[in-house]
Amino acid sequence: MAKVIGLMGESGSGKTTAMRNLPPAETFYIDCDKKGLNWKGWRKQFNEEAKNYWSSDSFSIVDQLLRKIDTEDQFKQIKYVVIDTLNGMMVAEEMRILSMQSGDKRSAWSDLAQNGWSIINQCLDMRDD
């Protein structure tokens, strides 16, 4: 079972900046807020070509990506996965639910909670390294 660490703090307190201390060759950054990192030159360290960056606020895409990182040889060097942020995915999903024209919104709200829980459990089930 992998170790999951949650960082919480006010905006601007350094949560994302702390990522500078992780080795880019061993780190995969999932940009759910779609704001990127906050230091000059980060795009040279984290990008799709280096296979250590992806931008999406979709629970299903992040879930698929976590499964690939966990099982595919092209990601065997990845030791750290940063999801920035779970809250970003939840807010995006809330906005999609609010824009629904019809259907059972109660079910959609339950799905939102289940999706957040599923991502956390997916992380816990990833390989030990």
**Which amino acid would we find at residue 78?**
I
Span 113-120, average pLDDT: 90
Query: How many other CB atoms are there within 10 angstroms of residue 96's CB atom?
Result: 13
Return the bridge partners of 30, or none.
54, 83
Q: Output the CA–CA distances (angstroms, integers) from residue 102 to 14, 21, 59, 89, in the order listed.
A: 40, 46, 21, 22
Q: What is the mean pLDDT of residues 73-92?
A: 93
For residue 85, what pLDDT is reported?
Answer: 87
**Percentage of the chain with pLDDT > 90?**
57
What is the average per-residue pLDDT within 44-54? 96
Cα(6)–Cα(82) distance, integer angstroms: 10
pLDDT of residue 101: 67
Q: Cis omega (within 30 of 0) on the bond before 16? A: no
33-38 mean pLDDT:
90
Q: Is the pLDDT of residue 103 over 80?
A: no
Q: Residue 106 corresponds to which tokens in the numbers above?
A: 């109660």
Query: What is the amino acid identity at position 87?
Result: N
What is d(CA 4, CA 78) in angstroms, rounded to the nearest whole number? Answer: 14
The pLDDT of residue 96 is above 90: no
- Assign 85 to helix, strand or coil: coil
pLDDT of 122:
93
Paired strand residues for 28? 81
Whether residue 105 has pLDDT greater than 70: no
**Residue 106: its pLDDT value, please?**
67
Instruction: Read off the tokens for 66.
Output: 């976590």
Residue 109 has pLDDT above 80, yes or no: no
Dihedrals phi, psi of 83, to nearest 5 degrees: -105, 110
pLDDT at residue 102 tops 90: no
Per-residue b or e along 25-49, where b marks 16 or more CB atoms closer than 10 Å to that residue's CB: eebbbbbbbeeebeeeebeebbeee
Res 107 pLDDT > 80: no
